[in-house]
Structure formats: structure tokens, C-alpha cells
Amino acid sequence: MFRDITQAVEVTQGHLKALEGWRQAQGADESRQLRQVSPEAGKLLAILLASCPPGDAVELGSGGGYSGLWLALACRATQRRLVTFERDPNKATLARHCLEAGDVLDFVELREADGLTGLGGVAGISFCFIDAEPSMAREAYEAALSLLPSGGVVAIGDAIERASEFQGFLDDAEMDARVDAVLVPIGSGLLICRKV
């Protein structure tokens, strides 16, 4: 997967990281910032997706498309499809441009819609990455978990950096008997839950 990263993906990822840094330096408000996973977290997400049982992937919160580019590598390697949801029209436009520039639209479908609403309409998933507002994490987790087969994975982004905003959800998920869970201190943190 990582030995065959195309130049289009690498260049697009570099542009997104530069844009994220520029927006932070300019003091952009929270809604305009691009909260993107670290490259290490992106690689871990791709490995997790590639290791899941057969099924497609869903991402709630496309942002600028950075994590979608990593997940697309796993989709290409395992012949899966990623459906990524972004409800912010400006971020959806950026994500669409970046996914097109990265030449991954053969494996990725971007839907400009609320992911919670759209999640139930995606059949046959085995992986879900929740990279949206912490306030929706619990509801998204429950919805995704109900759709996954045994061995399927739900991953939640920003689990360490924004832990205080999750209102007890992270602790509840780690104690949930329906999953094996671990909090991974990579980037801003990932909570990884594998359905038993």
C-alpha cells in the first residue's frame, strides 16, 4: 500500500498539510480550520481498513480529504469502496477537489451530507472512521457498530487532543463489552474499537 503511493496522492497530501498550517497561522476560526490526522494516524487507519473483514468503509467528516486519501490506499489495495460524508459545503468542495487531484475517485465517493443521516444508507460496511464533532461521536459510534460485522472497526479521531469534549464517551467505549478498544497516542489520538 505505502510503497505504491502515487505522486498525485503525495502532492495533494502535501498541499493539504500546507493549507492546514497556513490557516492555523492566520488564526482561522474553528470552522475554517482543517483538523487532519497525522501521517502516522493515516497509515494506521489504512492498515486497519485493509485488515477488516470484507466490506466497504465510511468516513464521517471528510474535512479537506486528507484521511480519505490514506483510506483510499487501503481501498485500492483491497478492492473496497470508501463513502465519505462532509456537511460543510466549503470543506466538501475542498475535499472533492483534493480527492480528484489525488486521482482516487475510482474508490472514493464524497457525499455532501450529514454523516449520521447518511450512514444507515450505506450497506455492507466493515470500517467506520468518525472524524467529526465530539458531540456526535456517541450516536455515530452506536449507528456504525450496529452495521459492522464481527471483526469490523470503528475508529474515532482527536480522541486525546479533544478528550474533554467527548463527555464521557471515550471511557464508555473503552469499557463496552461489544468491542475490544484501545486509545492510541498517535497524532491527536485515535480510539480504535474492534467489534467482537
> φ and ψ at 58, to 5 degrees?
-130, 140
Do the beta carbons of residue 142 and residue 172 sit within 8 Å? no
Instruction: Render pLDDT for 175-190 as a digit per residue (tens, 0 to 9).
Output: 999 999 999 999 999 9
Grid coordinates given for 127: 470500517
Q: What pLDDT score was predicted for residue 16?
A: 79
- Calculate the alpha carbon distances from 14 to 39, 64, 155 in Å: 10, 12, 24
Grid coordinates given for 101: 487531484
Q: What pLDDT score was predicted for residue 96?
A: 95
Is pTM beyond 0.85 here? yes
Instruction: Render pLDDT for 29-73 as a digit per residue (tens, 0 to 9).
Output: 655 556 689 999 999 999 999 999 999 999 999 999 999 999 999
Instruction: Render pLDDT for 119-171 as a digit per residue (tens, 0 to 9).
Output: 999 999 999 999 988 999 999 999 999 999 999 999 999 999 999 999 899 99
Beta bridge partners of 60: 85, 130
- Report H helices in 26-120: 39-51, 66-78, 89-101, 115-119
Given CATH 3.40.50.150, say whether it is the number of domain 2-195.
yes
Do the beta carbons of residue 165 and residue 190 sit within 8 Å? no
Q: What pLDDT score was predicted for residue 193?
A: 98
User: Is a pLDDT exceeding 80 seen at residue 23?
Assistant: no
Largest CA distance in the chain: 45
CA nearest to 175, candidates 156, 151, 191: 191
